[in-house]
Amino acid sequence: MPLNLQGIFPPVPTPFENSHFAPHRLVENLSRLNETGLSGYVVLGSNGEAPLLSRTEKLEIVRVARRTIPTEKRMIVGAGMESTEATAVFTMQVADLGAEAALVLTPFFYRESMSHEALRRHFEKIAEASPIPILIYNVPKFTNLNVSVSLVAQLAQHENIIGMKDSAGNLSQLLEFREKTPADFQILLGSDAIFFAALAHNFRSAILALANVAPRELVELRRLVDNNQWEAAQGLANKLAPVGRLIISRLGVPGLKAALDELGYFGGTPRPPLLALEEPARLEIREVLRQAGLL
């Protein structure tokens, strides 16, 4: 039976103490999030500071996460690396540790050489080697590379490439991805800013950093739309929008971690070269959370 990725998934931050991975803090955070109605989690995503982690750390994080995530919730693991072979090997390793799908970032260091054909071969070779399904990860904000609709349409024909996370924030492109791919190709929105608009266009799956901060609220927003309670849904979306703009869009990983601290989770400090927020930014976070009713 194909893997069902309907619902809301947070890309979980990686907690550090003294710049080292703190497994007990990840267990604490996940245990609390497990009670919120989320469909699962993304481990080793952009908001998990994956580019700043060693391979050994990554594997340990996956082990700890899998032990803490209930079997009824899905665990997607970020597995993309610059090398096709390295990505394929790492995907097999995380599959052995219980990952149910691999989120594969587009290689971008040699951006000008990442032609349609180069990317097609990259994703297809990984999909052929992988024992678990593959999701394409499109995040131009970080890669400065936007996958084309024609490439996604071609890759969607591969039986082990079951979907994508699209973080481009372009609703028109999102709709075109859906139009050009099979009905069972699962498109997970990756942009908090257009989540409500995507819901209005019948998208029902998302990987959102905001889901770390407002998990119950995003699950409820999806439920309201499913029940055609549009006025209540619009009100909730409007309430959450300033939170997403400040914490996710403007302040990024340091902002997300600071918000978690305010909400009683363990956020802690980001790993260098990322810098922890100064107090004025923390005060802004506190106020926007208070105004949204999250504090």
Cα separation values, 261 from 203, 222, 244, Å: 31, 26, 16
Rounded Cα distance, 28 and 174, in Å:
35
Rounded Cα distance, 244 and 209, in Å:
9
Q: Which amino acid is present at 191? A: S
Q: Cis bond leading into 273, ω under 30°?
A: yes
Count of residues making up the chain: 295
Q: Which two tokens stand for residue 107?
A: 């290689």
Rounded Cα distance, 58 and 211, in Å:
22
> 58, 125, 165, 180: which is the annotated catalytic residue?
165
- Residue in 89, 12, 22 with CA at minimum distance from that of residue 44: 12
Residue 282 CA neighbour count, 13 Å, CB half: 14
Annotation says 257 is catalytic: no
What residues have CB less than 8 Å from 106, skipping those under 6 apart? 80, 114, 119, 136, 137, 138, 143, 145, 147
Q: Which two tokens stand for residue 194?
A: 């257009």
Catalytic residue numbers, as ranges: 165
